[in-house]
């Protein structure tokens, strides 16, 4: 049984849809008979995605491409109007745009500004710009925001990315609470939490997919399966991390607060052996 928003002739908007998880999602939506708008700021990749999706659709007019930077609220509002005029009411919105240039606490300000404006600001902008019309048309609709396990367990090494994805988690939880308490509302939200996925974001100079990584298609297929099951938190495993491992890591991170342990105790020298024993079931 499919999610009622993901239905033939409905419209899906995939922001950050020119490659990776976004493009895989756009493909699956086209295959399921939806009209699809792909939004991205990378012109060459966007043109390639549009051509591929149009061929997959087998007809003109079911796929549109729009070049837009998600941090540009005015530009995104124009894009939303263009999609409505071209494809009709939006039933599925996937806020998937993301970057990961690397960061440090006292590193370059530009890295922080870029990551926060796209990874977090883009999710907020997309939701606030497309969301009101999705609520207004009264049909089943769905907003999917792409988060990250790094926004939950927050491993050291890239604080700007972690902060942005932690913000996506908090925002999407608040969004779902808002939606479920609106009278007669038929829009739902979901938080996609990918595992290790082979995309441009994780490639880092490598040319072959590591054995531990899932493909974008595997990730999207899992997402669709869990949406059909009614999940809000779509916590994806991969070929090296099981659901059980993720649950233990998440519980340990939460217990840092509840037990007043050192922050990020998994990586604190005196606590790291205890975490390993916990993970191993000792």
Residue 37 and residue 84: Cα distance in Å, rounded? Answer: 10
Here the tokens at position 14 are 């995939």
Task: With H, G, I as helix, E, B as strand and everything else as coil, classify residue 65.
Answer: strand
Is this prediction's pTM over 0.75? yes
> Which is nearest to 246 in space by CA: 236, 256, 255, 231?
236
Q: Which residues are catalytic?
A: 161
- The length of the chain in residues reads 282
Q: Decide: 216 and 199 in contact? Cβ < 8 Å.
A: yes
Could you report the average pLDDT of every consecutive run of 10 residues in the chain (282 residues)? 91 97 98 98 96 95 97 98 98 97 96 98 98 98 98 98 98 98 97 93 77 96 97 97 97 98 98 96 86
Q: Are 93 and 126 in contact (CB under 8 A)?
A: yes
What are the tokens at 260?
Answer: 């007043």
What residue spans define the domains of the chain? 11-241, 242-282
Residue 165 CA to residue 99 CA, distance in Å, equals: 11
Sign of the C-alpha dihedral, residues 6, 10, 15, 16? positive
pLDDT of residue 1: 59
Fold type of domain 11-241: Rossmann fold (3.40.50)
């Amino acid at each position: 049984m499919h999610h009622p928003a993901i239905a033939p002739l409905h419209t899906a908007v995939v922001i950050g849809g020119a490659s990776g998880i976004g493009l895989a999602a756009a493909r699956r939506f086209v295959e399921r008979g939806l009209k699809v708008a792909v939004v991205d700021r990378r012109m060459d990749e966007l043109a390639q995605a549009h051509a591929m999706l149009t061929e997959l659709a087998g007809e003109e007019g079911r796929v549109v491409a729009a070049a837009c930077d998600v941090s540009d609220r005015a530009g995104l509002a124009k894009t939303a109007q263009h999609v409505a005029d071209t494809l009709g009411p939006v039933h599925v919105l996937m806020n998937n745009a993301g970057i990961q240039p690397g960061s440090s606490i006292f590193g370059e300000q530009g890295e922080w500004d870029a990551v926060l404006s796209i990874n977090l600001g883009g999710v907020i902008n997309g939701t606030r710009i497309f969301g009101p019309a999705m609520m207004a048309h009264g049909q089943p609709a769905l907003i999917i925001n792409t988060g990250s396990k790094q926004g939950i367990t927050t491993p050291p090494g890239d604080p700007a990315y972690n902060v942005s994805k932690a913000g996506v988690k908090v925002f999407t939880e608040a969004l779902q609470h808002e939606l479920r308490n609106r009278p007669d509302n038929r829009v739902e939200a979901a938080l996609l939490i990918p595992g290790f996925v082979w995309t441009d974001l994780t490639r880092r100079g490598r040319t072959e997919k590591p054995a531990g990584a899932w493909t974008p298609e595997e990730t999207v297929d899992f997402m669709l399966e869990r949406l059909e099951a009614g999940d809000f938190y779509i916590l994806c495993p991969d070929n090296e991390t099981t659901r059980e491992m993720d649950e233990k890591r998440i519980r340990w991170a939460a217990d840092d607060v509840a037990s007043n342990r050192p922050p990020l105790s998994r990586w604190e020298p005196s606590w790291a052996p205890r975490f390993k024993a916990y993970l191993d079931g000792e």
